[in-house]
Chains A and B, each alone.
Chain A
Amino acid sequence: MIIRHSPDLRYSDVTPKQVYLNRRRFLAASGVAGLALPFAARAAKLSTTKSSNLGGNEKVTSKEIVSGYNNYYEFGTGKQDPAENAPKWKVPSPWTVQIGGEVMKPKTFDLDAIMKLAPVEERIYRHRCVEAWSIVVPWIGFSLNNLLKQVEPTAKAKFVQFDTYYDPKIMLSPREAGIPFPYKEGLRLDEAMHNLTLLGMGMYGETLPNQNGAPLRLVIPWKYGFKSIKSVNKITFVETQPKTDWAAYAPGEYGFYSNVNPKRDHPRWTQAKERRLGEGFLGRGIEKDTVMFNGYGDQVAGMYTGMDLMKNY
């Protein structure tokens, strides 16, 4: 007998009303409501229907590291900046994701509706940054294809473009960060529909911290981390390869595909090795050999047969 937990969890349910009301009362009473306290960033429990370890035999990285060392240029370009600045951001509620472009049924979803589309599960993935560091993270979410198939892509849809939420009032300007905002990423349609491509809503059993891309992000474990776009609020199906942020900024350094590839060095550093954060003596990290497709080749290499991955990096 298959016991299915009903996926009827609503996003607004995850923070019990009592809790946030109390917090507001507390803030009002103590007269510090004007202070940018990180109340919006408070994580709430997320229950999952199952857990799969797709990280192999590797140790899960501590939550402190995963939520304390981030690239999220909208909140600062230093590794510690997002953990400091992003919690002050009050994630808009309801969170909406506008899906359009080459589709039969363009639609704007709110997060509660998205959460109902499929059972929410935990998946442990290895995560490899283009900067040659890596972590192992227990993400929570479900395959992105559960959402994408809702809008029925047309025959013209060859690529999918994703946009990150952008609010110039609280985030860096493109001039300061050096890259265009809103941040854009993209996948080929088959990559976007691949089961491993996760639409993430949480990690470590809770909702996502802001610096990790709350409330909704992608996780594409065989590609460099910057492909796994954070805080997605717009998805567009397009016919031609979209202009993604890093590939547009420095095409010789960051490609559209950005599959993890130990043979294709970044012009300024080697991609043959990576530093696994948080392990080794005094947590100084251990050096590991980087594996093609970050070790997910069995599942994804088929999508790239016949392609020269040194050219299509």
Chain B
Amino acid sequence: MSKILSSKWTKVFLFIASLAPLAYVVSRAFQNNLTANPIEYITHFTGDWTIRYLMFTLAITPLRNLLNQPKLTRFRRMLGLFAYFYGCLHFLIWSVLDKQLDPHVMWEDILKRWYITVGMAALLGLTPLAITSTAGWVRRLGYKRWQKLHRIVYGCAALGVIHYWLLVKSDIRLPLMYGAILTALLVYRWVVSMRKQPPAPKRVPVGVVR
């Protein structure tokens, strides 16, 4: 297991596999098979993959601990960057194909439509994380600060789920599922961090004179 996880080829394979959704939707486009409403279809398709990759990324740390496979961490950055990649495609489809890059229309949408406000916030939040994902940036910031910065991803994932929840009409099963997965992943971290905390120092009641 650990041999597979440390192999260079696993990473290459994961990279190619992560491009498969894109390849799939492009091949459907060439077959003129993007449903009756192609823009809506590819918007939803890329949105789905963004949220899936966010979940994959956030699942790495708990899996690493539970399976005792520290090597899993090697894949976390790539998964996170793929979440950002699909998120950017999602944004580009909305801005270029749906809104024809009309700044007025886009701005009005961002202000008036809650789900767009929330989605934009999530993508903007991921941007500094994508930029500082390199080893150089970890060094420049120092690991502690870098780690603190990258906790923004929890908020972004939560915004992503809310974004999805706000835009469905009545069938909330899928946003509910992502909400449940995210909650489990975050509760796991919370429990671990509570355990790690050193016991609180004994308090001396105020006003007691010794």
Contact = CB atoms under 8 A, between A and B. Distances in A.
A233 B28 CA distance: 39
A17 B53 CA distance: 54
DSSP class of A's interface residues: helix, strand, loop or mixed? loop
B20 to A, nearest CB: 21
A244 to B, nearest CB: 13
B37 A282 contact: no
A179 B112 CA distance: 26
A213 interface: no
Interface string A51-70: 00000000000001100110
A277 B37 contact: yes
Contact of A177 (B113, B114, B115, B171): B171
Contact of B38 (A64, A131, A179, A283): A283
Interface string B133-169: 0000000000000000000000000000000001111
B36 interface: yes
Contacts of B16: none
A277 B40 CA distance: 11
B36 A278 contact: yes
A69 B114 contact: no
A68 B35 contact: yes
A285 B97 CA distance: 11
Contact of B39 (A65, A265, A284): A284
A211 B142 CA distance: 59
B167 A69 contact: no
Contacts of A275: 37, 39
Report the 10 A-B pairs with minimum CB-CB distance, sorted nearest first.
A178-B170, A69-B36, A77-B171, A65-B36, A178-B171, A179-B170, A277-B36, A284-B38, A68-B36, A268-B113
6 contacts: A77-B170, A79-B36, A176-B171, A177-B171, A282-B32, A283-B38
Given A69-B36, A133-B40, A179-B170, 20 more contacts: A64-B36, A65-B36, A69-B37, A73-B171, A77-B171, A79-B36, A80-B35, A131-B169, A177-B170, A177-B171, A178-B172, A250-B170, A268-B167, A269-B113, A278-B36, A282-B38, A283-B36, A284-B39, A285-B37, A287-B100
